[in-house]
Structures are given as C-alpha cells and as structure tokens.
Amino acid sequence: MKIEQIYTGCLAQGAYYIVSGNEAAIIDPLREVTPYLQRLQEDGVTLKYIFETHFHADFVSGHIDLSKNTGAPIVYGPTAVPAFDAIVAEDAQIFEVGSIKIKVLHTPGHTMESTCYLLMDEHGKDHSLFSGDTLFLGDVGRPDLAQKAADMTQDQLAGLLYESLMTKIMPLSDDVTVYPAHGAGSACGKNMMKETVDSLGNQKKMNYALNQPNKEAFIAAVTDGLLAPPAYFGFNVAMNKGGYDSFDEVKLRAMNPLSPEAFELVADSKGAMILDTRPAGEFYKGFVPNSINIGIKGDFAPWVGALIGDVKQELLLVTEPGMEEEVITRLSRVGFDHVVGYLSGGFSAWKEADKETDRVNRISTEEFASQFDAEKSVVVDVRKETEYAAEHVSDAYSKPLAYINEWTKDINPDEHFFMHCQGGYRSMIAASILQARGYRNFTEVDGGFAAISKTAIPTTDFICQSKVLK
C-alpha cells in the first residue's frame, strides 16, 4: 500500500494518491489531471475510484476530467446531488481498492454532503482518515458556507459538525493518521497548523474544537471570529457540483499571444481586466496602466479569487515570458476560465512599442523612517486583523487587503498616506487596485512591517477602535 499526499502550497490544499496492488484511488484531485494520469501510467495501475469529500468552495476539483480520462467513477458521500454521473454512497459503505478498504463516514456540518474516508489496511486495521474539510489539523471546517443550500443557520450547521466529530471521528483509534484537505493559509478554517499530517491522538489532545466541554461551547468556539468567505467560493461550489469546461479547452483558449497593439485593442473594446503577475519589485517600476498586480510567486490564486471574485470576469495577462501556462493553470484551479489572451513578449514588448506606462510610488523602509512624522504621518496597514493586533505602527489604520472594496470609499484623496503589509506583496496588490481606481496620493513601503519593526518607528499592540475597519 502507498499513500501520497500531493500538497499545493498556493492553495494550501492536499490531494491524495493511494495505490494497493494494481489499483489506485485519488481523493480531492486538482483541476489539471495530466500529472495524475502520468503517475498512473508510470505505476502501471488502474484508477478504480475518485473520491470527493464534498463540493469544494475554494478550488475547482479535477474529478470530472479525471473520470472522463480514466473511466473511474466519482464517489460522493450521502445527500450529494451532482449534475453528472457519480456514485452517491451510503454511510458506512465500503469500497475496495486492491487489498485495502475505504469506508464512507458521513460527517455533515461543514457542508451537508461532507464525508470523511477511513482507510483500512490489508489486515482490516483502521489506518488513515482522509478528513476533507470536516477535521483540519488544529481546527475544523467552517460551518457557514452551506447555510443557504441547507436552509440552516451557521449555529445549526456547527451543531451538526459537533455531532459528526463526536460520533464518527472521536471514537477512532489514536494511532489513525489524519490527512486533511487543507492546511494553514486556507480560508476554509481559521486556526490551522502548518503541518499537513498528524495522528488523530494528537489532534484529540491539542485541537481546540475537539476539547470543548459540550455542544454549546463548541458552537461558540468554532463560529467566533469567522470572517466573511471570499466572493469566489460560491462560484467554485457551482462548478464542482454542476460541471465545467475541460482544463485542456480552457488552456487552449487562454494561450492566445497578443501583440501590444492587439492587447490594447482587446483591453479597450472588451473591458477585460489586466492582471499583471510579475513580482512587486518589477511591477512598481512600470506597468500597463490600470493593471492589477497579483504576483504568481505568492498566494496567487486565493487572492485572485478574493479580490476579483467573479470567475466570469475576462482577463488579459501580463506575465514574465514563459510563465503564461503556469498562470493560466493556477487561475483555472479557482475557476477563472475566461482568460482572453496574454501580452506576447511581456511588459518589455509593451515598452518597446512605446506604449503608455504607469508606476507606483514605492520607497524603501529607510526612506519611510526618514519621512515618518509621528504627529502627522497617516499609515495604512493592509495585513490581516490578527497580524495588526499582534503589533503595528503606532496610530496606524487597520485596512485589510481582503476588504479593500469596502474601505476605498473612506479614503480622502487630499490626504497623503503611507501603506504597507508584512513584506510588500499585499501592499503592492492594494497599490495597483487603488491606482486603477484613481487614487494616487499614497506611498507604498517596500519590505513591509517585517522591515519597519527593525527601525526606530514606534510600534504597539494597543488597538484604537477608531483605527480599525468597521
């Protein structure tokens, strides 16, 4: 028996490849399926089942393409109603793969169809739990995503989740290995560990959600501090449940090189958004006007989903030459299938064509320290609320990037401000969005708070409520 976790850091997502004898199973595959097909061929095994733990909200799974390419059936847990052929399993149903068995554990709460899969080894011993979004390491799945579909409140869903955990998972042996669908950085939970594999026994000891004294305390604990889900989540659920275009078709449409002239024409005529995926350190020096910068070398796909939101938005890409296919692939993972082309030759081609360019006013941390006036300077911190609460520049405003659509309306265009994040990735995203909307009276700080905290600029963990986004 072989179990391989295929972890994608950008999405903080774990897919699983399981082999026993000459048969295999894959759990929660990513959108692009060629790597799985190659693995199956190299191992000389037949894919018997594709297991889905639920209708994912934060990424588009590859279940449909994988099934079409292999003939393997897709398996969901009880109550799932997909718009395509699939096995909707019964609770406790057993599926055999080679000499191992996989048992269905219906665990509603995160969503109504949420299901864990318990792997029993060749000797019939409980070996591994593929816990989906029901149980994370250090956390449990958020119970607020399926309220409308289930006609239930988040508290009611949290109560269901409690019952699922207590009756289906807690009774399992401590030596069972837990393989979750996500790790730290995913918006599907709020307190996940950086580790991606753990024993169930350790989770029973240290996971706050599993150590609440009763259902009421559990509901209060897991719903406390929940932030609104990203706008793209609903679109991804619909695609995973209703179907989607083949990734190969999406890539073929998107791999459309455009000259600077053609790029400009499409941008003007179709209203496509220009997405520049170069590093912030390159973007600020010069870019196509009105471009939004979300660097491919950061948490690219989740930020695209959170800030652009509508997966049907048409996109024009500016990438480092040779990175076009990688960008298109990562966009497809979160359902952004409407790339209409990319700038052939990258930004260098745009400059060589003598087209109009723009730039961001970025300064070093040293320059910020020399310009900073504790009495007069206005500082905007676009990090998460938890980062701001831990330590921030004294009197800085907390304006998290995730809520930029809310706080831009409060900006006084006549008042200059300095803006930073932790290292410069998120603040450059914010800078590009602000400039695309006509705000220019700001200075973005390179190096972010990581560098600022090493200067003489005063910092604090005191939170003035008037400085926090309401």
Q: What is the pLDDT of residues 110-144, one digit of tens each?
A: 999 999 999 999 999 999 999 999 999 999 999 99
At residue 413, φ and ψ (nearest 5 deg) are -65, -15
- 207 and 63 together in one domain: yes
Query: Has residue 368 been placed in a domain?
Result: yes
Looking at the 3D structure of the chain, how many domains does it have?
A: 3
Residues 306, 402: Cα–Cα separation, whole Å? 7
Which residues in 151-169 are b (16+ Cβ under 10 Å) and which e? ebebbebbbbbbebbeebb
pLDDT of residue 210: 98
Give the domain CATH number at 114: 3.60.15.10
- 258 and 224 together in one domain: no
Contact between 461 and 389 under an 8 Å Cβ cutoff? The reply is yes
Nearest partner of 432 among 342, 343, 362, judged by Cα: 362
CB atoms within 10 A of CB 46: 15
Query: Has residue 322 been placed in a domain?
Result: yes
Q: CA torsion sign, 102 to 108 to 109 to 112?
A: positive
Residues of the chain with pLDDT under 50: none
- 51 and 174 together in one domain: yes
Which residues in 244-280 are b (16+ Cβ under 10 Å) and which e? beebeebbeebebebebeebbebbeeeebbbbbbbbb
Nearest partner of 341 among 435, 283, 270, 415, judged by Cα: 270
pLDDT of residue 470: 63
- 348 and 389 together in one domain: no
Q: Which of 235, 270, 296 is the last residue of a domain?
A: 235
Query: Has residue 44 been placed in a domain?
Result: yes
**What are the counts of helices (DSSP H) followed by strands (DSSP E) for the chain?**
18, 24
Helix (H) or strand (E) holding 330: helix 324-333
Summarised one tens digit per residue, pLDDT across range 151-168 is: 999 999 999 999 999 999
299: tokens are 């948490």
- 388 and 335 together in one domain: no
Which residue segment(s) compose the domain that 426 sits in? 362-467
Q: Which of 352, 375, 398 is the last residue of a domain?
A: 352
- 311 and 399 together in one domain: no
- 65 and 123 together in one domain: yes
Q: Which of 334, 352, 370 is the last residue of a domain?
A: 352
CB atoms within 10 A of CB 120: 16
- 41 and 182 together in one domain: yes
Contact between 76 and 115 under an 8 Å Cβ cutoff? The reply is yes
Radius of gyration in angstroms for the set of CA atoms belonging to the chain, rounded to a whole number: 24
Query: Has residue 357 been placed in a domain?
Result: no
Q: What is the pTM of this model?
A: 0.93
Give the domain CATH number at 408: 3.40.250.10
SS3 67: helix
- 148 and 18 together in one domain: yes
- 80 and 229 together in one domain: yes
Contact between 290 and 264 under an 8 Å Cβ cutoff? The reply is no
Query: Has residue 342 been placed in a domain?
Result: yes
- 65 and 167 together in one domain: yes
pLDDT of residue 191: 81
SS3 content of the chain, % helix, strand, coil (to 5): 35, 20, 45
- 137 and 73 together in one domain: yes
Q: At a CB cut-off of 8 Å and minimum separation 6, what does 462 contact?
A: 394
Q: At a CB cut-off of 8 Å and minimum separation 6, what does 119 contact?
A: 3, 18, 100, 101, 102, 103, 126, 127, 128, 129, 130
Q: What angle do CA 166, 172, 177 make, to 5 degrees?
A: 115
Query: Has residue 343 been placed in a domain?
Result: yes
Query: Has residue 240 been placed in a domain?
Result: no
Strand-pair partners of 7: 14
Query: Has residue 153 been placed in a domain?
Result: yes
Q: CA torsion sign, 292 to 294 to 295 to 301?
A: negative
